[in-house]
């Protein structure tokens, strides 16, 4: 083991697994335009997105300002006492004393714009990649925007309105709301499944209090998975992992589902929960947890759960396109590792500084993690489990998403 760097759903209807389609990792490209795959890295604290090559050396292609309207938004917040209270709460709690300007992002199918959720401004905006200007802005319900998901055809995005306990679905080109649905407390991760037929939302409850002992877990709120029809936005299934965890003796485990990854046939989901250094396997058709994987604990990690980042222990999981490997970001344990899905045997522990997300490179060969503690992203080879390279980005990178830009794009034009 390498040295560590210290720092901080009876049954779901069979229809849920009928469509055998590989999970989409990027919006579908417009074949009439010359596009290139890139990785968008959201630098949450400085309000930028670094754009990297999606493969190879992951070199920087350009950078986007995702808060060009910052002065206007701040003025609006200062003029509204309620908005100001929530703005400061986001800064001082979720933001660890920093504003949250860039949470999640996806490019439009034609590669001309990127859509970004901005927690501190409680909105979603579309940014023109050629000019850094805003195409449209959608204020979410409530006072904070969180994780998003893009449909496989790239035409709509689902955004968690975390303080309103709902998900809102928008037309990616116009920003028009297409529909919405209610969730549990504090909706977080969203995933389009079965070729875009369903949306799964995971609510995580309250993660900013210090009531982190298992005996106080009930204070965290109503946390469950909501599965909806992605056309009607009607609930198809509600999954409370509390019952599934209790059924296998994990009564002290949190039921707050964090990041998740599905197999290519959508039959199994691998998910992380608050406070746990590892992940669980969930069989969708059988509606039960089938395996639990505990990953190594960094001996330098504090055992005081109140010191862990927003109830996270491990936050970030992705799967290789063939479904054979998982990549896990061990956030509070300061490492990432590739895990064989068949045996659940982890590989080398790759030292990383507060790794906060994991995604897949454009060619599917590498896992790409964001190191929020080191302001860089790192690529890890799925085949060997070894580090490929690290690339510097902006302040506090979190979400990393695969997308498209015009083939000749190198950043917004001057002025």
Q: Encode pLDDT of 99-154 as tens digits.
A: 999 999 999 999 999 999 999 999 999 999 999 999 999 999 999 999 999 999 99
| 8 Å CB contact between 219 and 211 | yes
Tokens read off for 216: 């106080």
pLDDT in tens, 356-381: 999 999 999 999 999 999 999 999 99
370 falls within a domain: yes
Question: Does any domain span residue 221?
Answer: yes
Show the domain range for 339.
14-406
Total domain count for the chain?
1
**Per-residue pLDDT averaged across 259-288, rounded?**
98
Report if residue 2 sits inside a domain: no
- Top pLDDT among 24 and 40 is at 40
In a domain, 389, yes or no: yes
Residue 258: is its pLDDT beyond 90?
A: yes
Share the mean pLDDT of the chain: 92
At residue 33, the 3 state secondary structure works out as coil
CATH number of the domain that 326 lies in? 2.130.10.10
154 lies in a domain?
A: yes
pLDDT exceeds 80 at position 29: no
- Give how far Cα 43 sits from Cα of 32, 134, 185, 375, Å: 31, 18, 26, 8
Q: Give the list of residues 6+ apart from residue 41 with CB closer than 8 angstroms, or none.
A: 49, 50, 51, 52, 370, 377, 393, 394, 397, 399, 400
Does residue 1 belong to any structural domain of this protein? no
Alpha carbons 308 and 348: distance in angstroms, whole number: 23
0.85 cut: is pTM over it? yes
pLDDT class of 96 with cuts at 50, 70, 90? confident
Q: Is residue 209 part of a domain?
A: yes
Per-residue confidence (pLDDT) for residue 33, from 0 to 100: 63
* 414 within some domain: no
Q: Tell whether the model's pLDDT for residue 26 goes beyond 60.
A: no
């Amino acid at each position: 083991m390498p040295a560590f760097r210290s720092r901080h759903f009876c049954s779901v209807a069979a229809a849920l697994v009928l469509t055998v389609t590989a999970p989409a990792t990027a919006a579908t490209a417009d074949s009439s335009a010359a596009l290139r795959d890139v990785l968008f890295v959201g630098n949450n604290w400085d309000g930028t997105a670094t754009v990297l090559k999606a493969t190879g050396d992951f070199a920087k292609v350009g950078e986007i300002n995702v808060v060009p309207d910052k002065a206007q938004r701040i003025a609006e917040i200062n003029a509204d006492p309620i908005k100001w209270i929530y703005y400061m709460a986001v800064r001082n709690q979720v933001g660890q004393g920093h504003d949250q300007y860039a949470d999640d992002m996806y490019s439009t199918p034609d590669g001309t714009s990127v859509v970004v959720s901005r927690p501190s401004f409680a909105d979603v905006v579309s940014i023109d990649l050629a000019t850094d200007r805003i195409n449209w802005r959608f204020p979410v319900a409530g006072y904070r925007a969180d994780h998003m998901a893009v449909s496989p055809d790239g035409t709509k995005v689902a955004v968690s309105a975390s303080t309103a306990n709902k998900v809102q679905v928008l037309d990616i080109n116009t920003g028009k709301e297409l529909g919405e649905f209610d969730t549990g407390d504090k909706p977080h991760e969203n995933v389009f499944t079965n070729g875009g037929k369903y949306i799964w939302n995971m609510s995580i409850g309250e993660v900013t209090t210090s009531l982190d002992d298992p005996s106080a877990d009930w204070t965290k709120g109503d946390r469950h998975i909501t599965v909806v029809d992605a056309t009607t936005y009607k609930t198809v299934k509600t999954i409370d992992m509390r019952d599934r965890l209790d059924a296998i003796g994990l009564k002290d485990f949190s039921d707050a589902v964090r990041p998740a990854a599905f197999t290519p046939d959508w039959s199994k989901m691998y998910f992380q929960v608050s406070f746990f250094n590892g992940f669980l396997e969930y069989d969708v058709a059988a509606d039960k947890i089938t395996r639990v994987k505990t990953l190594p604990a960094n001996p330098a990690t504090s055992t005081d759960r109140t010191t862990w980042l927003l109830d996270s222990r491990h936050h970030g999981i992705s799967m290789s396109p063939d479904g054979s490997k998982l990549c896990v970001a061990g956030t509070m344990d300061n490492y990432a590792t590739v895990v064989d899905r068949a045996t659940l045997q982890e590989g080398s522990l790759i030292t990383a500084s507060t790794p906060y997300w994991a995604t897949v490179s454009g060619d599917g060969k590498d896992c790409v993690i964001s190191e929020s503690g080191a302001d860089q992203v790192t690529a890890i080879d799925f085949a060997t489990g070894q580090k490929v390279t690290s690339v510097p980005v902006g302040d506090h990178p979190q979400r990393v998403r695969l997308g498209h830009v015009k083939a000749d794009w190198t950043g917004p034009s001057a002025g």
